[in-house]
Structure 1
Amino acid sequence: MSLSDDGGYGGDGHRGPETGQTRTRLPDNDGDGYGSGRRSRTGMSSRNLVTIVGVIVLLLAAIAFANRGGSGNSETATDSPKAPGRAQPTAPTGTKAVSGKTGGIASGFAKTEQGAQSAAANFAVALGSSDMFQRDQRHKIVNTVMAPSAAAALQNKLDDVYAPDFFKAVGLKADGSTPPGMTFVSRTIPVGTKVKDFAKDQATVEVWCTGLLGLAGEGSVKPVTTSWFTLTMKLAWTDNDWKTLTRSQKDGPAPVSGDVPASGAKDIAGAVQGYGGFTYAR
């Protein structure tokens, strides 16, 4: 994204003028023995001048382009409520993400567009984690990321969803525990965020995600698979922080699968256990 100087530009334009005796050709002195040589030097100087001018023009254009690109990442432009979701989907702001954590989940987000996007990304990670499959942990997560007015209703819905039939469908035991010798994987990884709407105390943010779900282990009948989906979260500024009012999910956008061969169950289990997650910031 940054521009670098091109060492190939310049040519003879960076060389100094020739030194030595100065010769002057008078207009009526056609017999001057230096006439032809002087015309040759004048032609060479013209080419040098054109080259120098060309280099200066290129450098000025490069500087102008770099300055224009740098201004696109300014905090003021991204924060502007007049243009939510501007075309800066992956550009970091450099703003500190959060001031702390609550129950292991990032909290203390700024009351800005960036703060709302950071909150939505971190809430997506928490709501898609393997802790959601354990009742006590699930309740803690929901009470942390949801607004008080929405937490109780969501708790009831999730308690109905995380039931024995669902646990069996993902390869777990009926009580939600992991079979011996297996590693249960449920992880959401935000790829990018976009503000759909931003007002004084509310924001609607889309979080494009990829996810991992399944059992890693020898003989697993539910191997870990990937998915792509977009979460839409409506947030409210509550008790000096962003909290979730509603959330919805739709499939995609999904890229074409690459040609990287699938890793073995041992490698997947080791990766999930060995690589921790992040606190996400916009």
Structure 2
Amino acid sequence: MTPMRLLVSVLFALGVSAGLAHAQDVRPAGFSLPPMVATPMTPAKELFGRVQRPNAGPDRSIGFYSNGCMSGGVALPLTGPTWQVMRPGRNRFYGRRRLIAMIQRVSKKVAAQTNWAGLLIGDMAQPRGGPMLGGHGSHQIGLDVDIWLRQMPAQEIPMAQRETIMSSMVVAQNRIDVNGYWTPDTLGAIKAVATDPEVERVLVNPAIKRAICRQATGDRSWLQKVRPNWGHDYHMHVRIGCGGEKSCRPQRDVVPGEGCGKELDYWFQRAILFPDPSPKKPSKAPPPFTVAKLPGECAAVLNAP
């Protein structure tokens, strides 16, 4: 089958995903993307972002977290005993079966070990993974999930409210510490996630990492998994590993140690916290990232029934 026919054949899948620059951007439930005429140069995100359902293929991650796709994904139920999916209208609540099991497992642990009733779940992956129209560079192979740093209430949140309610910003205005929304239960929730054996990374704002370094007691070995990264002020980005799967390219091992020393101090240099806002000279726009630039099997996943 030619690349053109592969691209055109997916146009039936007019999805309800969305996405701007942030993981909790508001989109109304049922938001759908308009039809489009595809060409071999159509960006891959435009095609994967319109797919409504997973394919019926084997359960696999193909490629890397920021350059790949997912086969045989499954949806996390929008409401469970210890979790609730936020922004369901974005249609980004799919993942590998191992990811689904991890979310269910750690949410139960959070409910048992903290005052939170469970976890509020943000973006996972699109039905077949792949690049998103906005909001994430990764989340492409069904092994990533954003978990909000807002306490889940005991009662079920109405679906309409899940599209508009915001998470809790726990980073102070000065960007060097946490604020009053940070509580011992926030720390407990992150610890419950990071201590799960399948979790390889937990990305948080550097100020959150600093608070964890200051407050964690007892066995601190789990701090090694918690890594500082910008853009995680109100959620933790949780990632599980490839599990030895040949079609999945693993990430590098984390740097040994707690990560609470000079490597953390780097993030609080003034030039890093407040970079020079001087406009840069406009650069030439890169060519579109097409399906052909993804791992070869992703075209078949996109085209599969």
- TM class by smaller structure: under 0.3
Q: Return the TM-score normalized by structure 2.
A: 0.23
Q: Which has the higher strand share?
A: 1
- Give TM-score scaled by structure 1 length: 0.25
Higher relative contact order (CA 8 A, sep 6+): 2
Pick the structure with greater CA Rg: 1
